[in-house]
Amino acid sequence: MIAASALLGALAGLPLLMLDQLIGFFGVFPGALLGGFAYRFASSSLPIDPTAHVRRYKYAAISFATLPIISAFGTGMRGQGFHMTIGAALIGFAIALGILISGDRRAARMG
């Protein structure tokens, strides 16, 4: 839910990018945050999973670190590669915030 809403936020920012407005890159932030709040609201009737707290921080750290690392390896750190890596870090940060906002309520595991 968080990644899907972050993608929708990025798609909502595309018209701004076409008008050469760099603020369009930051459409991911409200999308990821709204996705975290939407999951928190949707899961309010689910039980609290005691192991979700640790996993939530682990997944947030992975999402924050993975995107810039992949971007750095893919673009290099010269020229615009550095800026793309910083942009990927900001997107990873937004997704990590969405994960942290989502809360500890999870559905019961099957099996």
Supply the pLDDT for residue 67.
86
pLDDT in tens, 80-108: 788 888 888 888 888 888 888 888 877 76
Range 22-44 burial, b when 16+ CB lie within 10 A, else e = eebebbbbbbbbbbbbbbbeebe
Supply the pLDDT for residue 62.
92
Range 78-103 burial, b when 16+ CB lie within 10 A, else e = eeeeeebbebbbbbbbbbbbbbebbb
**Rounded mean pLDDT of 44-58?**
85
**pTM of the predicted structure, to 2 decimals:** 0.77
d(CA 1, CA 84): 25
Supply the pLDDT for residue 30.
83
Supply the pLDDT for residue 61.
92
Strand, coil or helix: what is 107? Answer: coil
Residues 6+ apart with CB under 8 A from 53: 104
**Rounded mean pLDDT of 4-22?**
73
- What is the distance, to the nearest Å, from the Cα of residue 89 to the centroid of all Cα atoms in its chain? 10
Residue pair 103/40 in contact by the 8 Å Cβ criterion: yes
- Whether the predicted pLDDT of 110 surpasses 60: no
Q: 105: which 2 tokens?
A: 């309520």
pLDDT in tens, 24-38: 777 778 888 888 888
